[in-house]
Amino acid sequence: MVKRNPHMAKLSGGYLFPEIARRKKALLEKNPSAKVISLGIGDTTLPLTPYICSALLDAAKKLGTKEGYSGYGDEQGMTALREKIAKVLYHGSADSDEVFISDGAKPDLGRMQILFGADATLAVQDPSYPVYVDGSVIVGATGPYNQKKQQYASIIYMRCTPKNRFFPDLAAQPRTDLIYFCSPNNPTGAVATKQQLKKLVDFAKQNRSIIIFDAAYAEYIEEKGLPKSIYEIPGAKEVAIEVNSFSKTIGFTGVRLGWCVVPKQLVYEDGSSVHKDWNRITTTIFNGASNLVQRGGLAALDAEGLTEMKQTVDYYKENARIIKTALDALGFETYGGRNAPYIWVRIKGKKSWDAWSELLEQKHIVTTPGAGFGPGGEGFLRFSSFGRREDVLLAVERLKRDKL
Ligand SMILES: *Cc1c(COP(=O)(O)O)cnc(C)c1O
């Protein structure tokens, strides 16, 4: 018999979204005619836009010709796309050979956990996107379990609440090797200011830590002066990797395309290069993002593509505005929803899974319970703005009415 990877048993009860799906299914079995509206999972609903979609079609057609066919490409991605991302999105603050094209930010985060391995200690914002902790647990980066704290020694939860305006008190944090940081944040919708990110970069420098900065929602930032990339902070290239994705900007959640930036200045304590190791990981266990899909990424960064991207992002942001306005009018304490597609809502006097179930049972609306994002999410619900407009409007009507 095969022994189970012992780290798998350390994962806490099931991944959040399968649990939500299970409970939703249970409701539908009880009440088959319920029209359930999902403001839960962060999955896009708008179709691909015309210019980007036609680039995908053209790429597929080319692959069907003798002249246009190509097999394996560079594992790091097409040079043209790496260059275009460096130029259009980083305006020179990242070199093209620091940009690695991937099949999405989540798989990249998983490979990064393999890169840093089981001995790495890490800090996450609490609440946070579940992959940072769960992926680290899978590779064994836990350290011993502290029964009293009910936490693993290698994983530090940096509490982010309305009280500290969702930015952790860094002075109170112990040193860790890695610091996962997501801004605009999933789930809270909070966006770190330049000043805050500078504090984070300084903290990482002092501690000789590496920041893994998740900028998946950078394009949702509309307020001038709010940083879209960690590299807007001087010196960040010495301490930070950035991951990003085409998922939430052009609806590539199913198509799959992302990238990360691993700066050449980034080194381990022995002076060796993180960039080189990342290149080794990429060439060894990843064979590159789909060539066809990378053509879609190239199109997305043309002027026409960028216009379509903005339209897509604006649509979801308008949804966010509608949801937030309705919740505010109902007297809820809400956060986010402005430079981010998520609205973080305090539920007074209730556990978040209980509030979540009530909303599902009484209004047939699926949200996401805050507790699923870490202990700091208890007492909150996350509303996602990625639904179709008609569903968002219907959900808002239901919220306003006492009964269905
Ligand atoms: C959706 C999301 C991603 C994107 O993941 P992909 O694998 O690129 O689809 C990354 N980080 C966060 C915080 C997200 O919410």
Tokens representing 306 are 């960028």
Do 137 and 236 have their domain in common? yes
The best mutation among 129, 252, 316 to test binding of ligand 1, ranked by most ligand atoms within 8 Å of the C-beta, falls on: 129
pLDDT band at 13 (very low <50, low <70, confident <90, very high): low
83 and 211 belong to one structural domain: yes
Closest ligand 1 atom, CA of 185? 13
| Mean pLDDT on 374-386 | 96
Same domain, residue pair 36 and 77: no
Ligand 1 pocket member 106 (CB < 6 A) = yes
Q: Which atom of ligand 1 is closest in space to residue 106's alpha carbon?
A: 7
CB 215 less than 6 A from any atom of ligand 1: no
Summarised one tens digit per residue, pLDDT across range 217-262 is: 999 999 999 999 999 999 999 999 999 999 999 999 999 999 999 9
Question: Average pLDDT, whole number, for the chain?
Answer: 96
Choosing from 43, 101, 180, 245 the residue with most ligand 1 atoms within 8 A of its CB, the one to mutate for a pocket test is 245
Instruction: Please indicate whether residue 187, judged by its CB atom, sits closer than 6 Å to ligand 1.
Output: no
Reduce the DSSP state of residue 246 to 3 states and report it.
coil
Least confident among 28-42, 264-278, 287-301, 372-386: 28-42
Residue 1 falls inside a structural domain: no
Number of domains in the chain: 2
Range of the domain at 184: 52-302
Q: Which amino acid is at 364?
A: H
Domain closes at, from 302, 325, 350: 302
pLDDT-wise least confident of 33-47, 53-67, 78-92, 296-310: 33-47
Tell me, using a 6 A CB cutoff, whether residue 253 lines ligand 1. yes
Look at residue 358 and tell me if it is in a domain: yes
Residues, the chain = 404
- Does 392 lie in the same domain as 292? no
- List, in sequence order, every beta strand (DSSP E) within 269-374: 333-336, 342-346, 365-366, 368-369
- pLDDT at residue 17, as a whole number: 78
Among 302, 334, 366, the domain boundary falls at: 302
Only one residue has tokens 């070199």, namely: 95
Q: Where does residue 272 fall: left (phi above 0), alpha (psi -120 to 50 degrees), or beta otherwise?
A: beta
Share of the chain above pLDDT 90, in %: 93
Each residue of 176-229: pLDDT tens digit?
Answer: 999 999 999 999 999 999 999 999 999 999 999 999 999 999 999 999 999 999
Same structural domain for residues 275 and 343?
Answer: no
Alpha carbon distance 295, 280 (integer Å): 24
| CATH code, 316 | 3.90.1150.10
Which atom of ligand 1 lies closest to the CA of 257? Answer: 8
Q: Kindly report the pTM of this predicted structure.
A: 0.97
**Which of 160, 186, 344 has most ligand 1 atoms within 8 Å of its beta carbon, as the pocket-test mutant?**
186
How is residue 81 written in tokens?
């796309």
- Residue closest via CA to ligand 1's atom 2 equals 216
Please tell me if the CB atom of residue 382 comes closer than 6 angstroms to any atom of ligand 1: no
Q: How far is CA 38 from CA 17, 382, 403, in A?
A: 12, 11, 18
Tell me the CATH number at 150: 3.40.640.10
Q: Within a domain: residue 316?
A: yes
Q: pLDDT tens-digit profile of 308-341?
A: 999 999 999 999 999 999 999 999 999 999 999 9
Asked whether 299 and 305 are in contact (CB, 8 A), the reply is: yes
Q: Whose CA is nearest to atom 14 of ligand 1?
A: 216
What confidence tier does 15 reach under pLDDT thresholds 50, 70, 90?
low
Q: How confident is the model at residue 19 (pLDDT cuts 50, 70, 90)?
A: confident
Domain edge (last residue) among 302, 318, 350? 302
Residues 139 and 260 in one domain: yes
